[in-house]
Amino acid sequence: MTEKSSLDLERRITELQNQHNECILELSKKEHEVATLSAHINDLQLQLQGEESIRTLARKLFHKTDDKIMTTFNRKGQKVKKVHQLSPPIRLSGDESYAQLLEAAKKYDTQEFFVYKSKVSKNSLKLNYRIIAKLYRIMRGFAFGIFGAISKLRKKDI
């Protein structure tokens, strides 16, 4: 019995040594995974510290979008400047009679003089674009007011 028990004990010892070796291997794998994850966490923390806050990013996005909208209004809504021309001069050959001069003056008055128009266009938006831009500014101000009130209420609740 002693031989059997000694064989059993030896077998049991080898089994325990094998289990011990397997546990050491698993432990080293787990330690490697933990080290990899902690390095990844450190990288993410560094990135997070370097990035701006969500509020700042949202503000930048809003201002960028707002500028794009307003420049589109201003670009599309500008009045086209017309080419202004002066009244053309009366063309005479030099040897006309008084009646021919009067006829040329009447013709000039009816046909060419009233072609000239003074400057009418201004550097402002067309009416429909002015209305849209005004409504947009009103809605934008209203939204700012609502968000400001919400943030004040949140601060009071905290």
pLDDT at residue 91 in the model: 67
Give the chain as a 3 state SS string: CHHHHHHHHHHHHHHHHHHHHHHHHHHHHHHHHHHHHHHHHHHHHHHHHHCCCHHHHHHHHHHHHHHHHHHHHHHHHECCCCCCCCCCCCCCCCCCCHHHHHHHHHHHHHHHHHHCCCCCCCCCECHHHHHHHHHHHHHHHHHHHHHHHHHHHHHHHC
Instruction: Check: pTM over 0.75? Answer yes or no.
Output: no
pLDDT at residue 120 in the model: 47
Lowest mean pLDDT, pick from 6-15, 41-50, 135-144: 41-50
Tell whether the model's pLDDT for residue 34 goes beyond 50. Answer: yes
pLDDT at residue 19 in the model: 92
Residue 127: band (very low, low, confident or very high) from pLDDT cuts 50, 70, 90: confident
Tell whether the model's pLDDT for residue 74 goes beyond 70. Answer: yes
Give per-residue pLDDT as tens, 84-121. Answer: 656 666 667 777 777 787 777 777 666 665 555 444 45
Domain range list for the chain: 1-51, 53-80+121-158
Residue 14: band (very low, low, confident or very high) from pLDDT cuts 50, 70, 90: very high
